[in-house]
Amino acid sequence: MREFRGQSLSWQLTDGVCELALHREPANEIGTALLAELEQFVAALDALQNDVRAVILYSRLRSGFSAGADLRELYRRMRGLTAEQRVAGVRQFLERIHAVLNRLDAAPATTIAAVHGVCFGGGLELALACDVMVADKMARFCFPELRLGILPGFGGIPRLKRDVGNAVVRDLLLTGRSINAQRAHAVGLVAQLAAEGQALAVARATAQQAAKFDSAARSRAKQFSKPIPYEELQREIAIFCELFARPAVEEGLRKFVESSAPLPYLP
Amino acid sequence: MRTVEQTLEEILNLAAEHFRVPRGQLSPDDDFFKALRLDSLQALELLTRLEQHFGVELPDYEFQGVTDFRTLADRIQARL
């Protein structure tokens, strides 16, 4: 298979470059549907690894790259369950998304996230698994999870720590504020800035360049420069589950789901 | 250094231009969510355009509860 058209995402492989488009309305929230198609994608990426030299992840939606985890689905699924059942369910989901992001992180091809609009929470965690982040200058980045009484759960802290200084990690995490693309570029989160509407074009040019290189050298360069923090990733799942068991999290999710505020991600 | 009145005027001009509302329809005490018909994504767009225009960072938590242009100008002025 060299192309796929799903409900939440589609991809195609052309001349060594695989482009994956996210298109789950309204804002590419990552729930069970999108996760299942990401699992199919990373399995295909493994099968096609001799043919894929670069991968671009982008969004077809105006809203942006991704608003993060599907909190409405999470809230719907957790209602009526015991605390133990909730934690077991969320742990299973986290193990699955970590498996996907670890495989994307370790893929021998050069992976590029072309980001525009919102890149929040789980969406930022997806982008952080890529090798190079290209951002439209109107993009915004945010880890709002503490506002809900939880931490980023898709590998966000270990991968953010890998890319930027710890003071930046704490600023993003402990304030929950969103930063613009210029700031993200200045702190080293974003590799390349693009004009409005040009992130995909810049990512395509970058992919063409990356695809020229010898595959063995590219793969070894990735392994050497971008080690995957497996132990911290497992620790993150454990901390997330500890926090998730508390009633305050259900209350935080309820407020978010029922909010009609103009900026609903604010507490 | 801009005065707060200059900051306010620049905000009104920027909002009118980017959200295609006649400048004459916008007043300092208007609720900008209503005047510009902003959804949550457009509110973030406004924040980003203000940051770019004034060359400052504007943490979104400082804008919680801010709805009128005049208070917005005060918050921005504190960062200039």
- Which of B43, B49, B57 has the CB atom closest to A263's CB atom? B43
| The pLDDT value given to residue A261 | 66
Cβ–Cβ below 8 Å for A266 and B64: yes
Indicate the pLDDT class of residue A81, thresholds 50, 70 and 90.
Answer: confident
Q: Using the CB atoms, write b or e for A58-83: b if 16+ within 10 Å.
A: bbebebbbbbbbbbebbbebbeeeee
Domains of chain A: 3-199+214-258 (3.90.226.10)
- Which residues on chain B are in Cβ contact (under 8 Å) with A63? 41
Average pLDDT over residues B45-69: 91
- As a whole number of angstroms, the distance between CA A93 and CA A98 comes to 9
B69 CA: distance to closest CA in chain A (Å): 16
Among A63, A140, A171, A183, most B C-beta atoms within 10 A, so best to mutate, is A140
For chain B, which residues lie within 8 Å of any Cβ of chain A, measuring from their own Cβ? 33, 38-41, 43-45, 47-49, 51-52, 57, 59-61, 63-64
Indicate the pLDDT class of residue A263, thresholds 50, 70 and 90.
Answer: low
- Which residues on chain A are in Cβ contact (under 8 Å) with B61? 175-177, 266
Per-residue pLDDT at A267 exceeds 60 = no
* Segments making up each domain of chain B, as ranges: 4-77
For chain A, which residues lie within 8 Å of any Cβ of chain B, measuring from their own Cβ? 62-64, 117-118, 137-138, 140, 175-180, 182-183, 262-267
Indicate the pLDDT class of residue A262, thresholds 50, 70 and 90.
Answer: low
Nearest residue of A to residue B32, measured between CA atoms: A262
Nearest residue of A to residue B39, measured between CA atoms: A262
Contacts of B18 (CB under 8 A, 6+ apart): B45, B46, B49
Per-residue pLDDT at A266 exceeds 60 = no
The reply to whether A145 belongs to the active site is yes
pLDDT in tens, A6-21: 999 999 999 999 999 9
Per-residue pLDDT at B28 exceeds 80 = yes
Cβ–Cβ below 8 Å for B52 and A178: no
Nearest residue of A to residue B61, measured between CA atoms: A177
Q: Which of A29, A37, A125, A145 is catalytic?
A: A145
DSSP assignments along A126-173, one per residue: HHHTSSEEEEETT-EEE--GGGGT----SSHHHHHHHHS-HHHHHHHH
- Which of B39, B41, B61 has the CB atom closest to A266's CB atom? B61
Please write down the long-range contacts of A219-222, taking CB distance under 8 Å and 24 or more positions apart. A219/A108, A222/A108, A222/A110, A222/A131
Average pLDDT over residues A24-39: 96
Which residues does residue A216 pair with via DSSP β-bridges, in sequence order?
none
pLDDT in tens, A124-170: 999 999 999 999 999 999 999 998 999 999 999 999 999 999 999 99
Q: SS3 of A192, please?
A: strand
Cβ–Cβ below 8 Å for B41 and A117: yes
B49 CA: distance to closest CA in chain A (Å): 8
- Which residues on chain A are in Cβ contact (under 8 Å) with B54? none
- As a whole number of angstroms, the distance between CA A184 and CA A160 comes to 11
pLDDT in tens, A93-113: 999 999 999 999 999 999 999
- Which residues on chain A are in Cβ contact (under 8 Å) with B39? 262
The CA-based angle B54-B56-B58, given to 5 degrees, is 110
| The pLDDT value given to residue A265 | 58
Q: Which CATH class is domain B4-77?
A: mainly alpha
The letter for the amino acid at B45 is: E
What was the ipTM of the complex prediction? 0.90
B1 CA: distance to closest CA in chain A (Å): 23
Q: Within 13 Å, how many C-alpha atoms sit on residue A191's CB side?
A: 16
Cβ–Cβ below 8 Å for B45 and A138: yes
